[in-house]
């Protein structure tokens, strides 16, 4: 067998390369775990037309925000109160099995607005 002689700097370069490879694989492993934990929302989708449905939604939202039940609330509790006030049916249809959490991006809002346009808002 042939003897392999390494220069003093070559050994430290090999160790650095192994550390870089370990870091890259660690980052990739974390990314794979994050991708597996992404939630796939399954909810009924309602057609949403911006001009028509936004007016309907804004009117109902303002009225419910001023209602006695929702006065003094804030954050996610206010959002739930207002949407329940606007339509219990639409709220339960879209949020009943998986309620909004603080800080969650509401991907179901457009479907909620579309649902409101298809059903009569309660108490209006």
**Tens digit of pLDDT per residue, the chain (124 long)?**
555 555 555 555 555 667 778 787 777 777 766 665 555 657 778 777 787 778 878 999 999 999 999 999 999 999 999 999 999 999 999 999 999 999 999 999 999 998 988 886 554 4
Q: Can you give the pLDDT at residue 123?
A: 43
Q: How far apart are CA 82 and CA 95, in angstroms?
A: 13
pTM: 0.61
Helix (H, G, I), strand (E, B), or coil: what is residue 102? coil
Q: Using an 8 Å Cβ cutoff, are 64 and 85 in contact?
A: yes
Q: Can you give the pLDDT at residue 93?
A: 94
């Amino acid at each position: 067998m042939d003897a392999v002689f390494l220069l003093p700097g070559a050994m430290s370069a090999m160790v650095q390369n192994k550390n870089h490879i370990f870091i890259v694989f660690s980052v990739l492993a974390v990314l794979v775990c994050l991708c597996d934990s992404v939630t796939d929302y399954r909810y009924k989708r309602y057609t949403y037309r911006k001009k028509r449905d936004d007016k309907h939604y804004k009117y109902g939202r303002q009225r419910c925000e001023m209602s006695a039940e929702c006065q003094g609330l804030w954050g996610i509790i206010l959002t739930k109160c207002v949407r329940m006030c606007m339509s219990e049916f639409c709220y339960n249809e879209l949020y009943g099995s998986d309620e909004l959490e603080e800080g969650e991006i509401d991907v179901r809002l457009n479907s909620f607005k579309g649902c409101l346009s298809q059903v009569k808002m309660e108490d209006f």
